[in-house]
Amino acid sequence: MKKNDLSDLQENCFCFCDEEISREAPFQVPIDIPEGFTIDSAEAAAAVTWSTDNLSCISEPCLIQTGPEPEDIGVQYAVRLQGTVTLLVSVSPVRNQYGQGDGAVSVIHNAEIDQVVYYSDNPDDCPDFSGITIENLVVVPPFYGSPLSVTGTIVLVPEPDQRSYVFTANTGDSTVSVIDTDVNTLVSTISLSDIPTDLGVTLDKAYTYVLHRNANLVSIINNETLTVTQTIPLAGAPRKIQFETGGEFAYILAGGSSIYEINISSQTITNTFTVSPAADDFALDPNGQFFYTTNSGFWVVNKYDINTGQLIDSLSNFETPNLIETPLIGDFAYLENGELRPNVVSVIDLTTFSESSQINRLFDGLITIVFSADGTRAFFLEPYFEVFPENLTVVDTAQHTFITTASLPGASDLAVTPDNQYIYAAQPNDNTVTVYRTSDYTAVTVIPVGTGPSAIAI
């Protein structure tokens, strides 16, 4: 949305979409027991029926920030429920003073509703009232003169399935852009205090770790609130982040000589390992027992115990080994090496820690290697040149052979959806992310993001 359209929007939109979402409405209903009758709260049970005849839905336009610039304004719709939900609340068993009978007592209660239950891009979007449920019914015994009561929760709209986001680290304006993969739309721009140079998403998709190489810092984004909730200072410049398959720890290569272990739950550094010689790159063992480092100057690949940081083994039969990557599932690593370009990619058998084969293709200096979530495919990204446009190589990891090539113009990094259906490619020169379909590697859509998206994760 351009700046000159803002005045038109403000005529119909009175505020930004900043009202808190509340999908549930708690209630408490006092129950007066008729004289001469009793309810044993220890055995009492509550039941509720309800009517939504006096409940309505309103779609209210409001403004959202769609990008880093003040004029990057768009419209969403706050879906508000207003009115009453009529509850018929019953408690049983009710007995007379002699303990006889097995009846029930009921009251009618009107729960007043006036709240935004979610935001939508569709002005006609409203929930189906037939999906409203009552949960968490509790009979609360009387105390200090208060009558017996029933508490519960009206679930107006169920919690949605976890949304899938793509994050880009934008070096040009110190932001992280957030793309909703369901609609391929920019939904948030998170401003940072320092330049983001790389990022990674935890395996449970709860947090995004952002590396700031210029500031020796890691920022942690809560993926539910899309806000920075923690920063962790390091003694060196963070260069790469990996997450072990158990989901407990993140590992960060910083300054070339240190591997930091961060507990994801406590978001604190729990260990620091020193590697020597200084590393160009590192990767984690898929089984969570080791990590591997490369050093192109000393022509060595080292294997370390991830629990103690102790050097276990070394390979010195590679020329200038640099980039190394491992899948989440598997027993191998891909290692780019070669003193002069074009380079080869060797397959390292991690069980024997030896070279087992090579990919049947040469490469002009890889930018990155990205594995699919199931480990069946690997995507090799080279620099893009118009004279050699096919800068993406797709590899079958079962046979360790390339199966196709494709063109991703201007891509600096890529992420693959968990179902292997789409690739999201960050294009820093165009300030965009392009979505490609993996069935034929054609572009599906182009999404404007922040300035200079250099790294991407999903």
For residue 424, give the CATH number of its domain: 2.130.10.10
* Among 8-12, 62-66, 98-102, 378-382, the range of highest mean pLDDT: 378-382
pLDDT value of residue 14: 58
**Residue 432: pLDDT band by 50, 70, 90 thresholds?**
very high
What is the per-residue burial (b if ≥16 Cβ within 10 Å, else e) of 258-295?
bbbbbebeebebeeebebeeebbbbbbbbbeebbbbbb
What are the residues whose beta carbons fall under 8 Å from the beta carbon of 427, sequence distance 6 or more?
409, 410, 411, 412, 433, 434, 453
The answer on 342 and 424 residing in a single domain is yes
Residue 66 falls within a domain, yes or no? yes
The answer on 272 and 355 residing in a single domain is yes
How far, in Å, CA of 140 to CA of 59, rounded?
A: 37
| Mean pLDDT of the region 371-384 | 96
Residue 298 falls within a domain, yes or no? yes
The answer on 295 and 438 residing in a single domain is yes
> Residue 3: pLDDT above 50?
no
> Residue 67: pLDDT above 50?
no
Q: Please give the backbone phi and psi of residue 437, each rounded to the nearest 5 degrees, phi first.
A: -85, 130
The total number of structural domains that make up the chain: 2
| Mean pLDDT of the region 67-94 | 85
> Residue 323: pLDDT above 60?
yes
Q: What single DSSP character describes residue 360?
A: S
Task: For the chain, give the mean pLDDT.
Answer: 92
Q: What single DSSP character describes residue 162?
A: P
| Mean pLDDT of the region 228-254 | 96
**Residue 97: pLDDT band by 50, 70, 90 thresholds?**
confident
> Residue 13: pLDDT above 70?
no
Residue 2 falls within a domain, yes or no? no
Residue pointed to by tokens 């998709």:
205
The answer on 283 and 194 residing in a single domain is yes
The answer on 278 and 201 residing in a single domain is yes
Domain range for 139 is 7-155
**Last residue of some domain: 155, 176, 196?**
155
Residue 294 falls within a domain, yes or no? yes
Q: CA 179 → CA 168, 220, 223, 450, distances in Å?
A: 9, 17, 12, 11
Residue 393 falls within a domain, yes or no? yes
Residue 199 falls within a domain, yes or no? yes
Q: Is 369 helix (H, G, I), strand (E, B) or coil?
A: strand
The answer on 43 and 130 residing in a single domain is yes
The answer on 386 and 281 residing in a single domain is yes
The answer on 220 and 190 residing in a single domain is yes
Residue 358 falls within a domain, yes or no? yes
> Residue 89: pLDDT above 50?
yes
The answer on 277 and 128 residing in a single domain is no
Q: Please give the backbone phi and psi of residue 141, each rounded to the nearest 5 degrees, phi first.
A: -65, 155
**Last residue of some domain: 123, 155, 187?**
155
**Last residue of some domain: 129, 155, 181?**
155
pLDDT value of residue 24: 96
**Residue 8: pLDDT band by 50, 70, 90 thresholds?**
low
Bond before 160 cis per omega within 30 degrees: no
Q: CA 362 → CA 298, 366, 391, distances in Å?
A: 22, 10, 12
The answer on 202 and 53 residing in a single domain is no
Count CA atoms within 13 Å of residue 127 on its CB side.
24
The answer on 210 and 147 residing in a single domain is no
**Residue 391: pLDDT band by 50, 70, 90 thresholds?**
very high
Residue 1 falls within a domain, yes or no? no
What are the residues whose beta carbons fall under 8 Å from the beta carbon of 99, sequence distance 6 or more?
none
**Model-level pTM?**
0.71
The answer on 177 and 120 residing in a single domain is no
